[in-house]
Amino acid sequence: MLAEPKLKLLADFISQFSKEELIWVNGYLSGWIAAPATTPAEPVNASPKKLTIAYGTETGNSKKLATDFAAKAKKKGLPTKLVSLDQYKLTELPKEEYFITVISTQGDGEPPVTAQKFYDHIHNNGFKLPQLKYGVLALGDTAYPLFCKTGEDVDKQLQYLGAQRIAGLQKCDLDYEATAAQWFDKVIEQLTTSVPTETTVTAPLVAAPKPAGKQYYEGIIQTHINLTAKGSAKKIYYIELLAEGVAFLPGDSIGIVPESDALLVDQILQLASVDGNKTITWKNETATIRELLISKINISYLLEKSVKQYATVVGQEIPAAKTDLLSLLKKYPLQNPALFEQVLEGLTQNVPRIYNIASSPVAHNGEVHITVLRDVFIKEEKEHTGLCTHFLENKKQGDTVRFFIQTNKRFRLPAADKDIVMIGPGTGIAPFRSFVAERDATGASGKNWLFFSEEQFTTDFLYQTEWQSWFETDVLTKISLAFHNGIEKAPTLADKILQQGKEIFEWLQAGASLYLCGEKEPAGKAIEEALLKVFSAETGSETNGKLFFETLKNENRYSKDLY
Ligand SMILES: Cc1cc2nc3c(=O)[nH]c(=O)nc-3n(C[C@H](O)[C@H](O)[C@H](O)COP(=O)(O)O)c2cc1C
């Protein structure tokens, strides 16, 4: 409170200023109060700094944060505009003064749908933004391999375009509130006190222990079979999970958090002479060491920072090669068992593996089906299987699996009367089984065309009897197959697309939607190249072909899910 004489002095003083000037004074005073008492902050210019806060969101977190930020900035007297990136006028960007982006990462490291245009705009147009001062707050989830990828890309690209950071990129995990608020307080401090300079705000090194925003389900395995026949070079498992009340749409995926092999964990405990029954708290999770090693902690594919932490604990130089905990313990034994908990601190959590759902919620009510290729690789001359493959391979009928639904809004069936062309080499066929089963069960009138490829016709034709039955009942209008069958120059799926390009183009011109799912390399890449060749040939030039491809994407008639 001010005493009466001072209050009067202040009122007289204030009466000399315009509203704009008062807003600036307000900001100036906040900065002055926040600064150390001996060095009052000097404002650099007399007018308040104009701030735009733009958000790109899918499930609303970025919007909520951006809205809180805008309210805070306004309170501090900064003229602030809050806008969703899909509403943002891209021609405004070169005119902006201070530009804060709050953006999440979706899909497999992709921008939210609402931010796609902005993302493409800054990446595809050859302009510069020398006057822009910016900061990016990235939302993500450390459970995903491409943590905060979109925020990283936007931050990097704005700098590349000549803009100046007023705050370093801040990456946030699911428990973002406190970190985000701290970061924005620093931004406000910059804008209300002094010349903006780049600050590096370090992201928290350690992941939040569990993806709190996700709803997890327990599914009971009711079928677990190898889809490929005897004589096949591969194993592809078909797993049916009983999962009553789990809501999803054709095109969605599930995330499964793999568990480590109990025998491997026991070997580790024995080697480290550690009591696995001791209860500890690891990244907010309280359980026995053995339980944590089985269900939470990544012991198979250690990150570089985990190896570094191990090297510090044992006080030795260890090369940053890909390794696992057991190998480290064997090669660089711990001097004493008490050090094991320090090693655990440097380890990260197991990340979920994502599988396309192969069932239809209408046709296979209460069930979720997946198609899992046994992922085999050679390390130190020994055959190994991927962690989740190994985990799922050893499950039996009646066992439970913990999973969450990963929605994929970019991979959706069109209206029931629209035609679809589905290209699914190998396990890429999974979502198309969901699509066609759904269209069959709902009596959708649109035509359906499937492209599929595998090694051997006799052993590897995934879901063969179902495709045959759908073909016979006219649910599946066309099926185009490419099997290698051990023939050196056998046509690939890309070749089939080139051969049937004219008809594919006709379907698309008549309004069909096109889908591609499967491995990115080599099949996915070759197929996209073949599609571009087809479109170029049919439209008369490569430029027109690219334009046709772009139009399909802009009209949401080309969806791909490559891994
Ligand atoms: C389908 C889906 C895919 C996601 N993919 C990623 C990813 O690749 N990388 C990441 O860091 N976070 C990923 N996330 C996590 C989100 O970025 C995180 O939940 C964020 O808080 C969402 O913010 P929003 O509500 O503003 O979209 C994904 C979330 C979902 C639902």
Q: Is the distance from the beta carbon of residue 140 to the nearest atom of ligand 1 less than 6 Å? A: yes
Q: What residues are paired with 190 via a beta bridge? A: none
Ligand 1 contacts CB of residue 84 (under 6 A): no
Q: Which phi and psi (to 5°) does residue 420 adopt?
A: -135, 145
Q: Residue 81: its pLDDT value, please? A: 86
Q: Please tell me if the CB atom of residue 59 comes closer than 6 angstroms to any atom of ligand 1.
A: yes
Assigned CATH topology for domain 4-193: Rossmann fold (3.40.50)
CA of 165 to the centre of ligand 1 (A): 24
| Structure token pair of residue 173 | 């995990």
Topology agreement, domain 4-193 and domain 420-562: yes
Positions in the chain whose pLDDT score sits under 50: 31, 34-46, 195-212
For 463-519, the pLDDT digits (tens) are 999 999 999 999 999 999 999 998 989 999 999 999 999 999 999 999 999 999 999
Q: Domain ranges in the chain? A: 4-193, 216-259+351-406, 262-345, 420-562
Distance 163 CA to ligand 1 centre (A): 26
Element (H, E) at 326: helix 325-331
- Ligand 1 atom nearest 102 alpha carbon: 26
Phi, psi of 297 (to 5 degrees): -95, 135
How far is the centre of ligand 1, averaged over its atoms, from the C-alpha of 116 (Å)? 14
For atom 9 of ligand 1, the residue with the nearest CA is 147
Distance 104 CA to ligand 1 centre (A): 6
Which residues contact residue 421 at a Cβ distance below 8 angstroms, ignoring those fewer than 6 apart? 449, 451, 504, 507, 508, 512, 513, 514, 515
- Of the chain, the percentage scoring pLDDT greater than 90 comes to 68
Q: Which of 116, 139, 172, 411 to mutate to test the pocket of ligand 1 (most atoms within 8 A of CB)?
A: 139
User: How many angstroms does the Cα of residue 64 sit away from the middle of ligand 1?
Assistant: 15
- Give the amino acid at 157: Q
DSSP letter for 198, please.
-
How far away, in angstroms, is 105 Cα from ligand 1 center? 5
CB-ligand 1 contact for 511 (6 Å cutoff) = no
φ, ψ of residue 502 to 5 degrees: the values are -60, -45
- Rounded to whole angstroms, the Cα distance separating 56 from 62 reads 6
The class (CATH top level) of 216-259+351-406 is: mainly beta
> What DSSP state is assigned to residue 27?
H
Q: How are beta strands 98-104 and 133-139 bridged, if at all?
A: parallel
Centroid of ligand 1 to alpha carbon of 166 (angstroms): 25
CA 434 to chain centre: 22
* C-alpha to C-alpha distance for 61 and 47, rounded to whole angstroms: 32
Dmax (CA) of the chain = 98
With contact defined as beta carbons under 8 Å apart, do 79 and 47 qualify? no
Structure tokens at 213: 């925003």
Report the alpha-carbon distance of residue 435 to residue 440 in Å, rounded: 9
The finding on whether 428 has its CB within 6 A of some atom of ligand 1 is: no
What is the whole-number distance in angstroms between the Cα of residue 211 and the centre of ligand 1?
10
d(CA 403, CA 239): 13
d(CA 546, CA 109): 24
Q: Given this model, what pLDDT does residue 206 score? A: 35
Can you spell out the DSSP letters for 515-526?
EEEE-IIIIIHH
Nearest 10 degrees: CA dihedral of 413, 419, 425, 428?
10
Q: How many CA atoms are closer than 13 Å to the CA of 459, on its beta-carbon side?
A: 15
Helices (H) and strands (E) in the chain, counts: 19, 21
- The correct CATH number of 420-562 out of 3.40.1190.20, 3.20.20.10, 3.40.50.80, 3.30.70.980 is 3.40.50.80
Between the CA of 455 and the centroid of ligand 1 the distance, in Å, is: 35
213 CB near ligand 1 (under 6 Å) = yes
**Pocket-testing residue among 64, 106, 172, 353, ligand 1, by greatest number of atoms within 8 A of Cβ:** 106
Ligand 1 pocket, residue 62 CB under 6 Å: yes
Give tens-digit pLDDT for 419-460. Answer: 999 999 999 999 999 999 999 999 999 999 999 999 999 999
Protein residue whose Cα sits closest to atom 12 of ligand 1: 140
